[in-house]
Chain A
Amino acid sequence: MNRRKFLTILGSAGAASALGTAGAAKAAGGTHTWPYYENSYGVLHDTTRCIGCRRCEEGCNKANGLPRPDKPFDDLSALDERRRMTPTAWTVVNKYELDDKPVFRKLQCFHCNDPACASACFAKCFQKQPDGSVTYDGSQCVGCRYCMVACPFYVPSFEYNDAWDPLVQKCTFCEPRLKEGKLPGCVDACPMDALTFGRRSDLIKVARARIKANPGKYADYIYGEWDAGGTAWMVLAPSASAVADEKHPLAETGHEFKALGLDTHLGNRPMGELTAGALGAVPMIVAFWPVLFGGAYAISKRRDALHKAETEAVIKEARDDMANAMDAAVRKIAETQGPGVADTARQAMAEVLKTREEACANCGHHGEDK
Chain B
Amino acid sequence: MRNGTTLLLLAAIAVAGVAYLTLGDAGPAPAAAPALTSVSDAPSAMVIFPVGEKPNPEGVGMKPVAFNHLVHENRIESCESCHHTGDTVACTTCHTVEGRAEGKFVTLAQAMHSPNIARQMQENTPQSCVGCHTRQLQQQECAGCHNVVKPARPETYCNTCHKVNGLTKADMVAGIAGSLPDDRNAELAADTLKARENPTQLQPTDGPYKVMIDEIADHYKASMYAHRRHVASLMERIEDNSLASAFHNQPTTLCSTCHHNSPLKGAPPKCGSCHPQRINPANPERPQLKAAYHLLCMGCHKGMNVARPLNTSCVTCHKHSEARLADSAAATLGGE
**B331 sits at the interface (CB 8 A):** yes
Which residues of B310-334 are within 8 A (CB) of A?
311-312, 314, 328, 331-332, 334
Kindly supply a per-residue 1/0 record for chain B positions 121-157, scoring 1 wherever the CB is within 8 Å of any chain A CB and 0 otherwise.
0000000000000100000000000010010000000
Which residues of B282-336 are within 8 A (CB) of A?
284-285, 287-288, 290-292, 294-295, 298, 311-312, 314, 328, 331-332, 334-335
Query: Which of A166-174, A212-220, A274-282, A315-323 contacts its partner?
Result: A212-220
Inter-chain contact B134/A193, CB cutoff 8 Å: no
Inter-chain contact A72/B281, CB cutoff 8 Å: no
Q: Within the assembled complex, what's the spacing in Å between the Cα atoms of A70 and B328?
A: 13
User: B147, B278, B292, B334: which contacts A214 (Cβ < 8 A)?
Assistant: B147
Inter-chain contact A192/B298, CB cutoff 8 Å: yes
**A209 sits at the interface (CB 8 A):** yes
Number of interface residues of B (CB under 8 A): 26
Q: Which of B147, B150, B288, B328 has the most CB of A within 10 A?
A: B288
A-B contacts at CB below 8 angstroms, number: 63
Known: A192-B298, A217-B147. A70 touches B335 (CB 8 A): yes
Inter-chain contact A72/B328, CB cutoff 8 Å: yes
Q: Which residue of A lies closest to B134 (CB)?
A: A215
**A202 sits at the interface (CB 8 A):** yes
Q: Which residue of A lies closest to B135 (CB)?
A: A216
Minimum CB–CB distance for A55 against chain B, Å: 9
Q: Within the assembled complex, what's the spacing in Å between the Cα atoms of A293 and B150?
A: 73
**A287 sits at the interface (CB 8 A):** no
Q: Within the assembled complex, what's the spacing in Å between the Cα atoms of A215 and B328?
A: 41
Question: Inside 8 A of A51's CB, which chain B residues have their CB?
Answer: 298, 311-312
Inter-chain contact A192/B295, CB cutoff 8 Å: yes
Q: Which residue of A lies closest to B288 (CB)?
A: A193
User: B284, B292, B328, B332: which contacts A197 (Cβ < 8 A)?
Assistant: B284
User: A41, A53, A190, A215: which contacts B291 (Cβ < 8 A)?
Assistant: A190
Inter-chain contact A52/B312, CB cutoff 8 Å: yes
Kindly supply a per-residue 1/0 record for chain A positions 247-261, scoring 1 wherever the CB is within 8 Å of any chain B CB and 0 otherwise.
000000000000000
**B116 sits at the interface (CB 8 A):** yes
Question: Inside 8 A of B134's CB, which chain A residues have their CB?
Answer: 215
**A68 sits at the interface (CB 8 A):** yes
**B115 sits at the interface (CB 8 A):** yes
Known: A68-B331, A183-B278, A191-B291. A206 touches B298 (CB 8 A): no
User: B284, B290, B328: which contacts A203 (Cβ < 8 A)?
Assistant: B284
Inter-chain contact B278/A49, CB cutoff 8 Å: no
**B18 sits at the interface (CB 8 A):** no
User: A76, A193, A196: which contacts B312 (Cβ < 8 A)?
Assistant: A76
Q: Within the assembled complex, what's the spacing in Å between the Cα atoms of A196 and B295?
A: 13
Q: Within the assembled complex, what's the spacing in Å between the Cα atoms of A202 and B312?
A: 30
Minimum CB–CB distance for A101 against chain B, Å: 10
Inter-chain contact A206/B285, CB cutoff 8 Å: yes
Question: Inside 8 A of A68's CB, which chain B residues have their CB?
Answer: 331, 334-335
Which residues of A69-85 are within 8 A (CB) of B?
70, 72-74, 76
Known: A68-B331, A198-B281, A199-B281. A193 touches B311 (CB 8 A): no
Minimum CB–CB distance for B325 against chain A, Å: 12
Minimum CB–CB distance for A120 against chain B, Å: 32
User: B291, B331, B332, B335: which contacts A192 (Cβ < 8 A)?
Assistant: B291
Which residues of B168-200 are within 8 A (CB) of A?
none
Question: Inside 8 A of B285's CB, which chain A residues have their CB?
Answer: 196, 206, 209-210
Q: Within the assembled complex, what's the spacing in Å between the Cα atoms of A74 and B279?
A: 25
User: B115, B284, B290, B335: which contacts A196 (Cβ < 8 A)?
Assistant: B284
Known: A51-B298, A197-B279, A199-B281. A191 touches B328 (CB 8 A): no
Which residues of A43-94 are within 8 A (CB) of B?
44, 49, 51-53, 68, 70, 72-74, 76
Minimum CB–CB distance for A157 against chain B, Å: 22
Inter-chain contact B287/A193, CB cutoff 8 Å: yes
Which residues of B98-119 are within 8 A (CB) of A?
115-116
Inter-chain contact A191/B331, CB cutoff 8 Å: no
Q: Within the assembled complex, what's the spacing in Å between the Cα atoms of A140 and B279?
A: 37
Q: Within the assembled complex, what's the spacing in Å between the Cα atoms of A255 and B290?
A: 32
Inter-chain contact A193/B335, CB cutoff 8 Å: no
Minimum CB–CB distance for A264 against chain B, Å: 24
Kindly supply a per-residue 1/0 record for chain A positions 234-278, scoring 1 wherever the CB is within 8 Å of any chain B CB and 0 otherwise.
000000000000000000000000000000000000000000000
Q: Within the assembled complex, what's the spacing in Å between the Cα atoms of A183 and B291?
A: 15
Question: Inside 8 A of A191's CB, which chain B residues have their CB?
Answer: 290-291, 294
Q: Which residue of B lies closest to A190 (CB)?
A: B291
User: A74, A202, A214: which contacts B328 (Cβ < 8 A)?
Assistant: A74
Minimum CB–CB distance for B275 against chain A, Å: 10
Inter-chain contact B294/A192, CB cutoff 8 Å: yes
Q: Within the assembled complex, what's the spacing in Å between the Cα atoms of A209 and B294?
A: 20
> What are 15 of the A-B contact pairs (CB < 8 Å)?
A44-B284, A51-B312, A52-B311, A53-B311, A72-B331, A72-B335, A76-B312, A190-B291, A192-B295, A196-B284, A198-B279, A206-B285, A209-B285, A213-B150, A215-B134
Report, nearest first, the 9 A-B pairs whose CB atoms are least far apart.
A198-B284, A193-B291, A51-B311, A193-B287, A206-B285, A68-B334, A53-B312, A72-B331, A198-B281
New A-B contacts (7) at CB < 8 Å, excluding given A51-B298, A198-B279: A73-B331, A183-B278, A191-B291, A196-B279, A196-B285, A197-B279, A206-B285
